[in-house]
Structures are given as structure tokens and as C-alpha cells.
Amino acid sequence: MSMSQKSDLAGLGDFRDPRGRQQTPRGSPDSSYGSRKSLDSSPQMRSKYMTTDEIDTIVRIQWAATHGSDPYIDDYYHQAMQSKQAGGTPHGRRHFAPSHLRELPSHARTAAEPHAFLQVDALGRIPFSSIRRPRPLLDVDGVNSTGDRLLSSDSASSQRRLEQEPMLAARIAVEDGLCLLLDVDDIDRMLAVSQHPDGGGQLRRRRQMLLEGLAASLQLVDPLAPGSAMRDSSGRFGLAAKDDLVFLRLVSLPKGRKLLTRYLRLLVPGSELVRIVLMAVFRHLRFLFGGVQSDPSAAASSTGLANAVAATIKTMDLPSLSACLAAVVLASEPPPLRPVGSPSGDGATVALQAVLDRATSILTDRNVQYPLQNTSVWQASFDAFFGLLSKYCTNKYESIMHSLLMASAGSSAAINAAAAAAMTREMPIELLRSSLPHTNENQRKRLLELAQRSLVMGVGVGDGHVSAAAAVRG
């Protein structure tokens, strides 16, 4: 069998389009045009099952997929992997940055279009599923099969559109926030790899505007602002439950906590925006870290948020630390003061311990001098927080002793061992230890009395309580 016969059996035939081999009279006006067209265009292809236009479309799609104009967009994941494997070297960073910034944030472009589209080379705009406008799965009217009306006219008129539901609106806000943080990442990469005539000042201002815009979309309030409506007649600040409603709805989702984690890592260290965000976090420690997370992904998001908060606190100054501690005291719910490593979660303790340790390092640093007013404000905030901490420890101690004495069926040694285990499991020893450098004489006496009560009643206090008591005496 000849090669031409094999090609015909395979459905390919001759690769050249017979229409391209049609002869044109030499003297006709189209002869010169046809010769130029044959020179300028690629060879025409034909197939048994596809037309020339269909083949040309497939070739254009393959070309667009393999010959992108911007590798940062068309080959993002491969470029990101190469940059990660380069270990942050200049060679790796140079190849992982956008050539230009987008004119509008992604959420603004999506909101401006009536339907969401995906721009694909050689294919035009393709509609895709959008979280803003999900397609309905079933249209249900207000009348059942028997003719009885299921919904009255009043209830039907009060129904809201799907995009107006609070939790769907929260998911849309989270997606918009993540897209905005991607724009911030693009600015950071451009600043790292390229030189700008103004030293990058315009890009930094744009970056700050994007971060402030996200704070505005989260509706974060600043109670310490001079003209804030949150202050009462005495100058103290307080928040109503509705003031942080949008923020609470967003962080109730695991993806919302991940958004807040990324947001904290992108903020400028020591800025006022950091203080505003962290005050919102410390106002709602119980909401963020109080519940027991059964879902591993939700627990991981809470742990990541606590670590991001602790890392951000390491760059704060003393007035900002005082504001965060005051937010804990004035919160509507007390924080969950669990020990570090508790199975129920230790996010609140990790954040509070970071505040106390950072304040200790600032106040013991001889190279840093703060005005007396700042130290006085910090001491007042700590005194109020220590009242919460000592009250929690006292109540926890009494509840442990009451439960053990009510179920005292074993020997004294068994009761002592159970009490020591319960103290270690329930008492926030790490917070007590971090609080010691900031306590005064009366506060140390209260801690010592709490430790001595356990010893007088004949209960084993465990290694953590013994070390805390020794530190108090010292």
C-alpha cells in the first residue's frame, strides 16, 4: 500500500486544500492578489472531517496557549514555582513580576459587568460561573399542585435576592478582598525587580490606597480617632454589637480568616492601620478563638491567624500595645484564657502573650525611652487586664476544687494528682509568667495567695504553679 493510500485511510488525505490549487487565469485581475496571498499566508490545510476554518481556529488556540505575550499571566504557576525554587535570588525574582499593573481592581471590573466573562485569546469572551450571580438550579413558584398558595403576598414581597443574603455577601467580599491582595502582591513584585523614576513612590501610594480600601470594605472602626463617634462624654470608647457586624461575618468563614491573615502580613509594620486591625481582633478574641474547631481546615485557619497576629505584634510600639490590651478589657465577651497547647485552641493566649512579651522587651530596652504618659497608659491597661486574668484563675481554681471535692471517692494522693493534672490543663500558666514583669506589689501578693491556697488545702499544684509561685516570691 502506497503512502497516499495510507493517508486516505487515516482520514487525512492530502494536506493541501484543493481549493488552494485552483488555477487562476494569468491575465485576470485576481492573479496578482492570489500570488501575494499565497506568499503572505500559511499553507492551507484540509481534513476529512474538519473544514479549513476549523483547523485554523485549533491552530490559533494552540499557538495562543504556547506562545503567550505575558508569562506572568499565561504561565503564572510555573513562574511562581521557578521563583520559589530559586530561593529568592535576584535571578528568580527578576522573572516573577508583572510587566504592568491592572487599571482597575478585579472586584471593580467584575461589579461593572452585568455578567462575568473570561477573556481567552482566539476564542473571545467566554461566560463562566460567578459567585455573584449563581445560576438557579430550580424555579419554584408560589403555588403547589393543589392550588393552595404556599407564600402570601406579604412574605413573597419580603423575600430578598440571593446576592443580598448576608453570608453570600460575605463570601463575595472575601473573594473581592483576595483579588485586591493579589494586586498588592503585584505591586510588591514590581517594586522588588524594577527601578522607577520616582523611587516607587507612586506605586507605594497606590499600595497604601488598596490596603486602606480593604479596611474600609471590612468597615473597621477606629475608636481612638479624635473625632470618633464611639467616644462617650467621659472620653472612653465603646462599641455596639452592630459596629463590627461586617467584620464578624467575614471572619466567621475559614476563608475570611485566611484573608485577614494575608492582610496582616501585607500591612506596613507599625502603621496606624495595623493598630486598627489588631484592635478589632482583640475585641473579638472569644468569637475568633473561643470555639472548638472540629474541621481541620478551620482549625488551621485559626492557628494561622493567631500566629500572624503574634508576628505583627512584634513590630508595634507601646501606645499601640496599650490600645490592644484596652480593647480586650472593654470587649463585650471575656477572652478564652486557655494554656498554650490546649486541645480546645490557644489562639487568644498566643496573641495576649505576644502583647505582654513585646511590652516587656520595650520597657526593658534602655535604648528606647517613652514619655511618662505612654507608660502610665500601658500600666492602666495592664492593671485592668490583670483583673480579668486573676478573676479567671480564681474562678477556675474554685471550680476545679469543687468538682474534685464533690467526687472525692479516692485517696488523698489520687485527689492531689487529679488536681495537679487539672491545674496544668486549665490554668494559663504562660500568661501568668508573662504578666509578672508588669505587676506591682499588690498584684504579686494576689498571685502568691492563689498559689498558697492550693498548698494549704493539700492539693498538689504541679510544676507550672510551683515555678510561678517561686517567681512571685523572687
Q: Which of 66, 86, 103 is the last residue of a domain?
A: 66
User: Does 428 lie in the same domain as 375?
Assistant: no
Number of helical (H) and strand (E) elements in the chain, helices listed first: 22, 2
Q: CA separation (Å) from 47 to 11, 53, 57, 134, 359?
A: 7, 11, 14, 40, 77
Q: Is residue 40 in a domain?
A: yes
Residue 417 corresponds to which cell in the numbers above? 494528682
User: Does 348 lie in the same domain as 445?
Assistant: no
Structural domain harbouring 20: 3-66
Rg of the chain in Å (alpha carbons): 33
Q: Which of 371, 397, 423 is the last residue of a domain?
A: 397
Q: Is residue 136 in a domain?
A: no
User: Does 265 lie in the same domain as 380?
Assistant: yes
89 half-sphere exposure, CB direction, 13 A CA radius: 6
Give phi and psi for 28, each to the nearest 5: -75, 155
Confidence (pLDDT) at 358: 95
Residue 428 CA to residue 433 CA, distance in Å, equals 9
Q: Determine the residue type at 399.
A: S
Contact present, 176 and 213 (Cβ < 8 Å): no
Q: Is residue 73 in a domain?
A: no
Q: Determine the residue type at 171.
A: R
pLDDT in tens, 17-45: 444 444 444 444 444 444 444 434 556 66
Q: Which helix (H) or strand (E) holds 117?
A: strand 117-120
Q: How far is CA 365 from the centre of its chain?
A: 33
Reduce the DSSP state of residue 127 to 3 states and report it: strand
Lookup result for grid cell 478589657: 329
User: Does 371 lie in the same domain as 246?
Assistant: yes
Residue 173 CA to residue 214 CA, distance in Å, equals 10
List per-block mean pLDDT (blocks of 10 residues) for the chain, which spans 474 residues: 45 42 45 43 71 87 76 81 73 71 57 51 54 62 48 48 72 89 91 83 92 89 69 52 82 93 94 93 93 85 94 94 94 90 91 96 87 91 94 86 72 71 83 92 87 53 44 48
pLDDT in tens, 159-182: 556 666 777 788 888 988 999 999
Give phi and psi for 86, each to the nearest 5: -70, -10
Lookup result for grid cell 467621659: 234
Q: Number of folded domains in the chain?
A: 3
Residue whose C-alpha is closest to residue 17's, from 72, 58, 74, 55: 55
pTM of the model: 0.72
Contacts of 311 by beta carbon, 8 Å cutoff, 6+ apart: 264, 265
Q: Which of 16, 42, 66 is the last residue of a domain?
A: 66
Lookup result for grid cell 502582591: 185
User: Does 456 lie in the same domain as 349?
Assistant: no
Strand ranges (E), 175-230: none
Contact present, 288 and 281 (Cβ < 8 Å): yes
Confidence (pLDDT) at 24: 44
Residue 336 CA to residue 291 CA, distance in Å, equals 9
